[in-house]
Structure 1
Amino acid sequence: MRIVIIGVGEVGFHVAKALSQEDHDIIVMDVDPSKCKRATESLDVIVVEGNGASPRILSMANVQDADYVLCLTRVDEVNLIASQQAHELGAKKIIARLRNQQYTTRDSIIKPEKFGIDLVIHPEKEACSEIVQLVRHSYATQVMDFEGGRIQMIGIRLDMDSPIIGKTVREICDEELEFKFGIITVLRDGESHVPWSDYEFKENDTAYFIVKTKSLESLMVYLGKEATKTNSIVILGGSKIGRSVAQELENEMSVRLIDNRRDKAEWLASNLKETMIIHGDGTDVELLKSENIKDADSFITVTESEQTNLLSGMLAHHLGVKQTVIHVSTT
């Protein structure tokens, strides 16, 4: 396939890297010469330096022949205009990254489909959804819903006491269980493996299963995992992601949110009715101790500073929190 990627920041760069390894014809463009230089030196792609919202630059990239155009700059308005231009020039499918979720609300004046966009991705919304799933399933490394939540794909790290350690896929299939599940892939030492019938599971494998949601608890028992319910979480950072996670979970469990800005903390307190808002520094060990962080089921760091997220996450882990979720945008 021929794919044009507009915007070669962290997201665009790694999307281009992944797609170029699958033998697609990739063209990337960006107005920033340093980002273009990085792509030229590191990726097997064609690089076009220029404004992705310009019809002339898009024509230079032969966007009219593209199977997909991915608009991934950090500016929503640029992505909208670039999508519209690519659509007018004849691109087959257009995917746009939009940070402002109001564009896809029912009463929005500006509709993405009017710009020729086939699929909208809200990065903060996607991050929130993944964090919420991980909190609800703290025993998993990854969770995805299918068929409206009736089926789940779940990643489980196999501990040394897991009953399936040393068993092959054939032996597992031969067991008479009261429920059915599929084994999709296994991650071992950083490499993915398709588990054929003679594949033997080992300690520290991360296995990915697909199962009906109603049978998930039975699968966890079979794998030797305790499907414990999350009752208490602490969120560091009143960012868009932090607010969204709190709103999603505050009626299910105890939620505390820490922010170091007093004005934002006051605003959060007036808008998140069921969440306890704490004004303070999440990297302050004494503050974390005073909040009994060791008793929390999950500690989620989603500030705008990656350094703060990493440091506070490590501190919380050291203090004994059961699960730590750290938001990092730079890979």
Structure 2
Amino acid sequence: MYILIAGGGKVGFHLAEELLREHHEVLVIERESARAAQVREELGGNVMIGDSCEATTLDAAGVSRADLVAAVTGDDEDNLVICDIAHYRGVGRTIARINNPKNELLFSKRGIETTISATQAVLAQIEQELPTQQMIPLLQLHSGLELVEIKLPETSPVAGRSVREVLLPAESLISLIVDPGGVPRMPSGDTRLSAGDALVIVSRKESLGILKEQLIGSTHGLDT
């Protein structure tokens, strides 16, 4: 694969290093000449000095033949512009680093569905350690899907029901059930849900609120 990495900071450098180790063709674009020189010392000729927010720079980097563009600068607005230009130039896949989680919706509305937020990743790890947290984000998938874990409380409206009796939002799927003893099982339509079960579910992000209400209940008022 030919992968363009916009931003030669620590994230861009280590990303390029790993991708080169996997024998991908990689080019890092860095606007600061001093930083570009440092990266070049480590990565050889896989660095270009330029502003990734400018279409001419991306064109010179061969964006039209790139399989993927990863915008990992420290500025969310720059990353949004870079992904927009890449899409306009016909790149099928873009990945954007988001520093402020509040910007995630803006990226999604612009068609940039794959975003990485260090803040959200750390928060997800913290939430997994909170005994009162009943909906835990696990992973953002491609095409606007998310993998979440939902722990059914004693007052869950679906406790005692079979999987086929639970009306989930469209494009939502229970992929795994882990009982309170930590034993995983693949659900079927006849699998009965119990309080204390942890459900691993794939769903669209916009459906998570409905999903939470259906499985946990509206009285808990917990945010994802």
**Equivalence for 2:135:** none
**Equivalence for 1:213:** 178
**Equivalence for 1:121:** 116
- Displacement after TM superposition at 1:4 (Å): 0.4
Structure 1 residue 5 and structure 2 residue 11: aligned?
no
**Equivalence for 1:73:** 73
Q: Amino acid of the residue matched to residue 112 of structure 1?
A: F
TM, length-normalised to structure 2 = 0.58
**Equivalence for 2:107:** 112
Does the CA contact (< 8 Å) of 2:2 and 2:68 recur in 1?
A: yes
**What are the ranges of 5 or more consecutive residues in structure 1 without an aligned counterpart?**
106-110, 138-143, 151-210, 220-331
Within 1, Cα distance between the matches of 2:82 and 2:98?
A: 12
The DSSP-based 3-state class of the residue aligned with 2:53 is coil
In the alignment of these two chains, the number of paired residues is 149
TM, length-normalised to structure 1 = 0.40
Within 2, Cα distance between the matches of 1:28 and 1:40?
A: 9
- Check 1:61–1:218 CA distance in 2 against 1; reply closer, same or farther (3 A cut): same
Q: Amino acid of the residue matched to residue 14 of structure 1?
A: H
Q: Amino acid of the residue matched to residue 75 of structure 1?
A: D
Sequence identity of aligned pairs in percent?
Answer: 29
- Displacement after TM superposition at 1:34 (Å): 2.3
The DSSP-based 3-state class of the residue aligned with 1:5 is strand
1:224-303 paired onto structure 2 within 5 Å: none
Structure 1 residue 131 and structure 2 residue 126: aligned?
yes
Alpha-carbon RMSD across the aligned residues, in angstroms, is: 2.8
- Check 1:80–1:215 CA distance in 2 against 1; reply closer, same or farther (3 A cut): same
| 1:57-112 deviation digits (Å, cap 9, x = unpaired) | 1001101111110000001111111111111111110111122222234xxxxx32
State the structure with more CA Rg. Answer: 1
Within 2, Cα distance between the matches of 1:54 and 1:35?
A: 19
Within 1, Cα distance between the matches of 2:123 and 2:45?
A: 32
Greater relative CO (CA pairs within 8 A, separation 6+)? 2
Q: Amino acid of the residue matched to residue 87 of structure 2?
A: H
The DSSP-based 3-state class of the residue aligned with 1:29 is strand
- Check 1:44–1:130 CA distance in 2 against 1; reply closer, same or farther (3 A cut): farther
